Structure 1
């Protein structure tokens, strides 16, 4: 029965009164593409919705100049699957659209009663992966496995991108550098800013300026100051020096931003305070200008003070700064960390009721069957990866995909950011140098097992014969 609250929800949607477009866990199931719901309705109408289906999430091609990816976003994907429900208000809103007028009554009853009951296999977060390797596989009744596609791709694609960029930044900057995530104001949405902060920390950065993300993750947020404070206090209280002193009274541990007016003059005045014992300075930040020259000049004036740099930096810029001998101890990373070339992950059906299937479109071929990634190491370094079938086994190789959800129940508690960060560091250290380099990296070779190749050939032949029969 539709209640008054249900109708109120529908009316709000129809009259576009909910302009905030905020996201909460109760709305997760509706955060999907329409065709997921229409396909599910079709499956139900055809009576195949309970057929066991396997979908794998992988990346066909790495982003330009990437030699690897760091898998990330699994924690949010599993939290989503745990909460996957449609409430009566959401069902009423879907019905009010009129789109599903031809759907069977069973479609609505399944939405009302259903939850995720399948299995999930995934590579642990922080694991290095390559093109055409499944980061995750969902094995569930067809209607469930289909409906969850959009959300899984959203969180895993984005967080994998950010974690990979963070890992590259750490690899280039070195272990001793302090790396701060400053990207909240440039992230694609408030939700994305939280995911970016998490992925950046798990990928190797030290801290984030995003207060909400830091507190939710049990971390301490980090930050400095903005030019606005320097300008405001300078205008009201008289000088830049007075602005620094005022801020330092309340936050003596925060680095000072010294490039609002004259960077070197500011450094000279601070040096006088430090040398006289009037001030203990924990750091200064440079946000503009010739960072190479300025950092060297500031270092000569403040030899024991850490120097941080920011301003549209990325791994390429950090590599240039280091090569030129810049005197920089840490970096604030924002725009180029939380944006950039997308990770174009796809989620494709590979098996239905034990029947292997594959997409054969030009440039978009997928491999059939439930698969496993087998990694071989020599001297602690990745030698090669083999993509094989799940039922294959190897004593000499490491199987990367692990069962993380069984019959809808998570098998292990969520990992901490620190644990994932350690795995990321170990993953990067295990990669060949040619895979880690920024300039024309070479990804680790991914071989196809003989069993998988036989299945590919068999599936192609079966598909071709089926098409000939029906033409």
Structure 2
């Protein structure tokens, strides 16, 4: 037993021991039988379209895992929406990649779930600033995965410092309730922050620690004057009441006193429905658990050809497949050697050729793709 943190090392992921035991026993058995078939394997969630799209993420780590193996891999683009059929196809000798299945599916399943939830929130408030506040809900070792998934889903920023260093992004964030409590006085805390923290950091005062939101918001505006950029309301749900009414009150009182340039930011257990309700009042949102606690997508990897012959386990579809975005925003799944749908855009593209990674990754490009694709397919459209 290790005396350190309960974290699997990168070395274990790369050498394939971060896997389920039965894959290593499968290796042992096939090697003893001198059998190593040439296979086509596909990563899928649903076999046929269901009408419910999800967002593909985690592909960068998946590609790094498979890079260097003597295999060919095709995959959809990071930030692409899909609805049934394969998101990735692997062709090669089975023993060259068998032990990596567990980590491969983990990379894709978890971040795709996170990114899909982020896109739901982003679509709920398309004109607002939306930041990821959910790192505190997950194991710190996977905070970069959560923050990257949020960015792929279209979020404007992240809060986790170490994750930002991994991703090359500066973390956002101003002050918690703990700062006010440590001073024991709201004005003292706001003023100390303003006097201490880098001027480039926005002055966003937390305004619901001891008294009601409109009282503290007005006091913050009076204490900091023109230095105040905004107020943040993070009221616990047990004291929140009609949150929309509270935000309207705060806006009214600030405007009435000539502080119409002070923005209002809202956080605390928010999901897409809350963002839709408040988006006309609040300038920005911090979204945490809805994204960080999202269920992973239920991807599976299945062999669909062995030595050129069609095969499939019960409940799965045999044969190498292709997927397409149709002109009407639909998702089409078909056998790869059959006619393409008229006007369809093929979504599976080369990712690895004979072990060499042939694609680059850019989180901003993935986010742009996700937002454009969401518009095209009507992802989670609600009034």
The reply on whether 1:80 has 2:71 as its aligned counterpart is no
Q: Find out whether 1:254 has 2:203 as its counterpart.
A: yes
Please show how residues 226-375 of structure 1 align to structure 2 within 5 Å. Answer: 226-234=176-184, 239-251=185-197, 252=199, 253-262=202-211, 263-273=213-223, 278-288=225-235, 289=240, 290-302=242-254, 303-322=260-279, 327-360=281-314, 365-375=315-325
2:17 paired with 1:37: no
Is the CA contact 1:217–1:417 (under 8 Å) kept in the aligned structure 2?
A: no
Aligned to 1:443: none
- Contact in 1 for aligned 2:47/2:316 (Cα 8 Å): no
| 1:118 equivalent in structure 2 | 71
Partner of 1:7: none
Query: 1:19: how far off?
Result: 4.0
Which one of 218, 222, 229 corresponds to residue 172 of structure 2?
A: 222
Do the aligned partners of 1:316 and 1:438 also contact (CA within 8 Å) in 2?
A: no
Give the match for residue 186 of structure 1. Answer: 137
Do structure 1's residue 162 and structure 2's residue 114 form an aligned pair? yes
Cα 1:345/1:391, change in 2 over 3 Å: same
SS in 2 for 1:436: coil
Note the C-alpha offset of 1:409.
Answer: 0.7
Distance 1:310 1:271 in 2: 19
Match of 2:346 in 1: 399
Q: Is this contact kept in 2: 1:271–1:301, CA < 8 A?
A: no
Q: Which residue of 1 aligns with 2:158?
A: 208
Structure 1 residues 438 and 337: CA distance shift in structure 2, 3 A: farther
Q: CA deviation at 1:340?
A: 3.2
1:465 corresponding residue in structure 2 = none
Taking a change above 3 Å as real, the CA distance of residues 271 and 421 of structure 1, as seen in their structure-2 partners, is same
Q: What residue in structure 2 maps to residue 409 of structure 1? A: 356
Q: Deviations along 1:332-386, whole A, 9 cap, x unmatched?
A: 11112111333111111111111111122xxxx11111111022114xxx1x332
Aligned residues: 365
C-alpha contact 1:273 1:279 (8 A) present in aligned 2: no
| Structure 2 CA distance for partners of 1:61 and 1:257, relative to 1, 3 Å | farther
For residues 294 and 325 of structure 2, what CA distance do their matches in structure 1 show?
A: 29
Aligned-pair Cα RMSD in Å: 2.1
2:380 pairs with one of 413, 433, 436: 436
How far did 1:217 drift?
Answer: 1.8
- Does structure 2 conserve the Cα–Cα contact (< 8 Å) formed by 1:121 and 1:404? yes
TM-score, with structure 1 as normaliser:
0.74
Structure 1: gaps of 5 or more residues: 1-15, 83-114, 440-471
Report the secondary structure of 1:136's partner residue.
strand
- How much does 1:421 deviate? 0.8
Aligned position for 1:52 = 38
Q: What secondary structure, in the 3-state scheme, does the structure 1 residue paired with 2:326 have?
A: strand
Displacement after TM superposition at 1:61 (Å): 8.2
What is the CA–CA distance in structure 2 between the aligned matches of 1:308 and 1:40, rounded to whole Å?
A: 54
Deviations 1:244-299 (A, max 9, x none): 1101112352311111011222112123346xxx4421111111124212211211
In the superposition, the TM-score normalised over structure 2's length comes to: 0.90
**After superposition, where does 1:91-130 map in structure 2 within 5 Å?**
116-130=69-83
In 2, are the aligned partners of 1:55 and 1:145 still within 8 Å (CA)? no
Q: Which residue of 1 aligns with 2:257?
A: none
Q: Is the 8 A contact 2:221 2:228 kept in 1?
A: no
In structure 2, distance between residues paired with 1:391 and 1:195: 36
C-alpha distance in 1, partners of 2:183/2:293?
Answer: 33
1:89-123 per-residue CA deviation (whole Å, 9 max, x = no partner) reads xxxxxxxxxxxxxxxxxxxxxxxxxx621011100
Query: For the residues of structure 1 that align with 2:59 and 2:264, how far apart are their CA atoms?
Result: 35
Larger Rg belongs to:
1
